[in-house]
Chains A and B, each alone.
Chain A
Amino acid sequence: MTDAQPKSGGAAAIKRMSVTERHALHKRWDQSLNTLAINVPYISFLGIDFDRRGDELTAILPFQDKLIGNPFLPAIHGGVTAAFLEVTAVMTLSRQYLWEKLENGELDLDRLEKGEVPRLPKTIDFTVDFLRSGLPRDAYARARISRAGRRYASVHVEAWQDDHTRFFAQATGHFLMPQKRV
């Protein structure tokens, strides 16, 4: 879908929009990206939700018993924590990437809204630091794109629970950006 012929409009058309039109576009945009996430079975399986405020995306992992990795503590499974961080990193990176595609007219919002899955960044490697055990309650994560190149991107992501200043896990990953098919 992202490889479609550039349409007229794109960034210029978005700039020409009125405040109301732009607001409506962002609403459609958020909804179609949430649909994109919900349509990924593994994201739904973990129960991950997203909340965008301005340009900041927060991923939420509501606690469920099935996420427990150590029933004696109890604590969230390290694999779940790793997956949560990775989903957050990919979603943050994808949003930026897809928005650029929308601006340059290569992404068709109608098709995204219909649930068509565009090509997304692929994880090359992902390194997780487990700083403390994940408690049996909701967790939150935010990612920062350290570098977004044409081919590779580097993303750092941090997760916390009750106290935003005390991360329970952090990770850095490298991603392969979708390449134009030659």
Chain B
Amino acid sequence: MDKVQMARQFIEAIPHARDLGLQLIELENGVAVITMPYDKKLIGNPATGVVHGGAVSALMDTCSGAAVMSHPDAPGSTATIDLRIDYMRTATPGDTITATATCYHMTRSVAFVRVTATDNDTDNPVATATGTFTVERPR
């Protein structure tokens, strides 16, 4: 089984990812695309129906981890060291949110990731984040 397939299975085995309805769309060479369909249980503001920022964070964290796993110098496993999320605007209620993460650099022990989340208006990101991840080498 190749690394990409392994990462896909890994993500689909995550209980919380399944609960959020996350779907892996693309996974190749350090780039991951994951979608999160709109769901009433993810609402953060009952008055407007806007999805909670925390759910967007969870999507971006998962997507970033997947990008690290799919990098050509792929680690055996990874964990988030730090993640900084910037919220640009609220997502449009009803829209699926798509996260695209790029693992743009990897050292022996640290992976660096940038990730963007958009709704149907793909020109105006809902949120962006940068993160660092551990690189666990298989022994």
Interfacial residues, chain A to chain B (CB-CB below 8 A)? 39-46, 65-71, 77-80, 82-84, 86-87, 117, 120, 122-130, 133
A83 and B15 in contact, given A117-B46, A122-B87 (Cβ under 8 angstroms):
no
Q: Which residues of chain B are within 8 angstroms of A67 by Cβ–Cβ distance?
A: 15-16
Query: What is the CB-to-nearest-CB distance from A63 to chain B, in angstroms, rounded to a whole number?
Result: 12
B106 at the interface (CB under 8 A from A): no
> Which residue in chain A gives the minimum CB-CB distance to B54?
A83
A83 and B84 contact, CB distance less than 8 A: no
B55 and A130 contact, CB distance less than 8 A: no
Q: Which residues of chain B are within 8 angstroms of A83 by Cβ–Cβ distance?
A: 52-55, 57-58
A129 to B65, CA, bound (A): 15
Q: Which residues of chain A are within 8 angstroms of B79 by Cβ–Cβ distance?
A: 70, 78, 130, 133
Contact of B83 among A41, A44, A82 (CB under 8 A): A82
Q: Which residues of chain A are within 8 angstroms of B42 by Cβ–Cβ distance?
A: 41-42, 45
B121 at the interface (CB under 8 A from A): no
A65 and B62 contact, CB distance less than 8 A: no
Q: Which residues of chain A are within 8 angstroms of B52 by Cβ–Cβ distance?
A: 40-43, 83, 87
Of residues 78 through 134 on chain B, the ones whose CB sits less than 8 Å from some CB of chain A are 79-87
Contact of B41 among A41, A82, A117, A124 (CB under 8 A): A41
Can you name 16 A-B pairs with beta carbons within 8 Å?
Answer: A40-B45, A41-B43, A42-B44, A66-B19, A67-B16, A71-B15, A77-B16, A77-B17, A79-B54, A82-B85, A87-B54, A123-B53, A126-B53, A126-B85, A128-B57, A128-B84
Contact of B82 among A70, A117, A130 (CB under 8 A): A130
